[in-house]
Every structure is written in structure tokens, then in C-alpha cells.
Amino acid sequence: MTRIYNCSVEAEYAAGMRMALSAIGRSALVVIPTDTVYGIAADAFSPGAVQNLLDAKGRGRTSPPPVLIPAVTTMDALAVGIPEPVRDLVAKFWPGGLTVILNAQPSLVWDLGETRGTVALRMPSNQVALDVLKETGPLAVSSANLSGQPAAVDAQSAEAALGDRVAVYLDGGVAGESYEADAGASVNLSSTIVDATGFDSNGGRLHIVRDGVVSRAAIEAVIGDALAPKDEPEPELDVPRDPSNRD
């Protein structure tokens, strides 16, 4: 039976963590809090688990989920050709609300969907999420909602949307509150997505493909001219670019 575990209560946190790790180990789904919104998580290296995630959200394989990672160093195990401006960005904004689309390591044995050889990576700034990730390694994580519906910012909303499609819900309180405090109630609580896959063929520029909690100004302050202007067309590459297809 699906249960919500209150992670602010030590005994429930311990029990919920055990149940979450067990669920992920058997390719079941777990809802976890992140610093932006709640996410539905699956073992990134289990094709069946990833398919369960897509099915639970009502999505197809053309919408590959991002991958959350426990440490900056994990990025090099999952991606190749990482541009120096990306390293500068993750040094500044990880853990936090920045997702980076990179070229995936070709030797990886996984199936996230129709990624066309890319992977969207983020290290979240949420202790519950990081505690899970440190035990499981990389997880495929998409926003905890049905496709086309608003993302959940608490465990109860996630459970109302996803029900028993998910084995375990970890309740870490309301997500995104630190960003709301920083930027006001109108802030978009999604992570900001930066595409680096066309860096070498695009004059050494990164593109923001979705605005979110990390502002364009903050990114530009770190990498300067390596960020493409807002009105510059994205290069024509065979990469999923619709932001809704990488969330």
C-alpha cells in the first residue's frame, strides 16, 4: 500500500528511506522532494523502471526524463565533451536549480527514451533527495504530476495526482520555498535548463532552453559571452529541445 512518510519525524524518515530504497531496487517508483518541485524517481539504469515513470505520467519515449545525481563528480561519469563554461556553472549553481543538457557517455547501458545521445543532469539542493541519491546513484526524475498538469510542490499534491502508481512518497515539506523567498511569489519554480550539446558547433555558446529559478542574469554573470543572447536562434541539432520534453 502506498504511504506518505513525514521526513521531519526521525523514525518516519528512517522507515521511509528504507522503503524508498527497496522500491527503487525493484524498479518501482518513489516521489521525492527537491529544491524546486517534487519529483517522481526511478532507477535510471532500469529500462522497466524508466518506462514505469513515463507510463505513470502519461508520457511517451519522446519525453526522456532528466537524471538527478548525488555529486558534481558524477557528471563526468555520465557525460562527455563537457565545456568549461558548464563546469563553471555547476561549480556556482550545484547543488541547485540548474539542469544541463550534455552529450551522454556512449558506453552507458541505460534507456531513458529518445534522448538522441544526450542526457539532462542536475544535482538538487535538498537533503532528502541527496540522501536518496547517495544510496541509489543516478535516478531518472521527472516532475511529480500527470503530463500537462501543474507540478506538485508538496507530497500530498503528488499523491493526489499519481496515487498508487508510486510505491513510496517522501514528504519533505513544501518545495521551492527558498526560491520564493528570494524572488517573490511569481517565480517559476522549475529548474533552469541550459543546453550545451551544440557548444562546439555553435561558436562556443550555451543556450537557455527553459527559464527557471536560476536567472539569465545570474548565468551570464558566471560565463559571460559563452551564453547565447536571448534572441539568437538555437543551432539545428538532433536533440530533444522542447523544455517540457526534458522535465
DSSP structure class, residue 227? B
**Dist CA 234 CA 126 (whole Å):** 32
- Model pLDDT, residue 30: 99
Domain topology for 3-246? DHBP synthase (3.90.870)
| Residue stretches of the chain with pLDDT short of 50 | 185, 241, 243-245
Q: What is the pLDDT of residue 179?
A: 85
d(CA 123, CA 34): 10
Q: Where are the domains of the chain?
A: 3-246
User: How many residues can be counted in the chain?
Assistant: 247
The rounded distance, in Å, linking the Cα atoms of 206 and 194 is: 7
What pLDDT, in 10s, does the model give residues 196-214? Answer: 998 988 678 999 999 999 9
pTM for the whole structure: 0.92
Q: Helix, strand, or coil here: 161?
A: helix
Q: Are strands 168-171 and 139-143 parallel, antiparallel or unpaired?
A: unpaired
CA distance linking residue 122 with residue 199, whole number of Å: 18
